[in-house]
Amino acid sequence: MSSDEDSQPLHRLPFPPITKSHILNCSFHSWYPKYVLLSSHLLSNVSRLRSVTPKARLIPLSDAFLEYLRADGIVLPREEITTADDDSGIYTDSSDDEDPSESWQDVHRHIRQTIAELGGKVVPKLNWSAPKDATFMSATNDMICSSAGDIYLLLKSSDFITHDLDHAFDGTVEDGSTPVIPYHLVLRKAFNLNPALEFRCFVRNKTLLAVSQREMNYFAFLFDLRPNLLSKILVFLQDRIFPHHSDSSFVFDVYIPPPHDRVWLIDINPWAPRTDPLLFSWLELLQMAAPEGQAFDNEIESDDEYVYEPEFRLVERDDPEAYQFTATKYSAHKLPKEVVDASTMPDGGMHELIDGWKKALDKQLEEDQDDHD
């Protein structure tokens, strides 16, 4: 799907400046309450209108709990030990040590109560990320949690969560003092979701440029549904998202379950390299020609003809993406070990690594030149 040109370093891509406000606007705690209030208003006035986003609860996180997430090792609260596999070796039994939850009992209690309120099964995430890269730690190999211990196990095993905690503002420009991030644990009520019907939508300057299938498998039935799905997404964007989201460029995820007459907002993501472009590349999204600020023509109603039709990309039968069953999921988010090590070295570690790479490349160029001579 991507050309050699797309493999250039991300810092060379023509992204507009990404501000801390832009990142915060895409935090779950920032956008979710707006759509809950919108849903409540619609429900109180027109009973047939339903929620625009799945049910979730936000739990404010204390500094003590954040320190627990950042700490090395996996130590579960005592009452959670019985819900884990005693022989797994993936956590430390705290029965003989201080209970890690003693300094954040309010958060722990709130989490357990929320799990019960949402029917006993929830899916967790932090402000921006879900621990999708840590499902190997789950007995069910997914993100569905039935206990607080299940949640802690996923959160503490996830690089995505670590990024939320320590690198949320990486790559942003200076736009004043760095704001304090109000971290929240998001618990969504677990429900049966068909991943084939999840889509990522790319908005640049108030124009829907493109839509990508999220699940990287071939689904033949999606091709006939594509025109109707695109129409539903466009109307949803115009009527539900634009009036309540302040940024002109962003990425949002939707779920459109059968009978495909409603759209659920799943997440809002920043227009930034950290957001996976899926079946597109960021270079083509940034360079894609499109009218500015015009998703579709509201005046044309008789034939529902769009002034500009976004590209809706699906996995084709013969696409390599449809057959990469052995590929490590989320491997694109991982870094070489030497890069990680250098990033933790005091003053100059990364510079030394870059200098080493440059010398190696220069040497390789000299050897290639000698071979040609």
pLDDT tens-place string over residues 60-75: 999 999 999 999 998 8
Of the three residues 136, 155, 189, the one that is the final residue of a domain is 189
Can you give the pLDDT at residue 364?
55
Say if residue 142 is in the same domain as residue 246. no
Specify the pTM: 0.76
270 and 342 belong to one structural domain? no
Residue 242 in any domain: the answer is yes
Q: How many domains does the chain have?
A: 3
Choose one of 141, 174, 189: the last residue of a domain: 189
Q: 165 in helix, strand or coil?
A: helix
Residue 228 is classified by DSSP as H
Q: Are 185 and 197 in a shared domain?
A: no
Render pLDDT for 31-46 as a digit per residue (tens, 0 to 9).
Answer: 998 877 544 444 443 3
Q: Does 37 map to a domain?
A: no
For residue 31, is it within any domain?
Answer: no
> Are 175 and 208 in a shared domain?
no
* Residue 361 pLDDT: 52
Assess whether 119 and 208 both reside in one domain.
no
* Residues 73, 156: Cα–Cα separation, whole Å: 8
Whether 30 is in a domain gets the answer: no
Q: Are residues 157 and 199 both part of a single domain?
A: no
Distance from C-alpha of 62 to C-alpha of 59, rounded to nearest angstrom: 10
Regarding whether 103 and 125 lie in a shared domain, the answer is: yes
Q: With a cut of 50, which residues of the chain have pLDDT below it?
A: 1-10, 38-50, 83-91, 93-95, 296-306, 325-328, 331-348, 350, 357
Based on the fold, state whether residues 98 and 133 are members of the same structural domain.
yes
pLDDT at position 335 is 41
Please answer whether residues 188 and 117 qualify as being in contact, where contact means their C-beta atoms are separated by less than 8 angstroms.
no
241 with 343, same domain: the answer is no
Confidence (pLDDT) at 78: 79
* Same domain? 301 vs 344: no
Over 333-373, what HEC string results?
A: HCCCHHHHHHHCCCCCHHHHHHHHHHHHHHHHHHHHHHHHC
* Structure tokens given for 71: 């700490």
pLDDT at 342: 46
Read off the DSSP letter of residue 149: H
Same domain, 100 and 132: yes
Q: Is residue 203 included in any domain, yes or no? A: yes
Q: Mean pLDDT of all residues in the chain?
A: 79
Q: What is the pLDDT of residue 238?
A: 93
Q: What's the CA gap between 106 and 121, in Å, rounded?
A: 20
The verdict on residue 208 lying in a domain is yes
Amino acid making up residue 299: E
Domain that holds residue 65: 55-189
| Coil, helix or strand at residue 242 | coil
* Boundary of a domain, candidates 152, 173, 189: 189
| Same domain for 250 and 208 | yes
Residue 250 to residue 310: CA distance in whole angstroms: 15
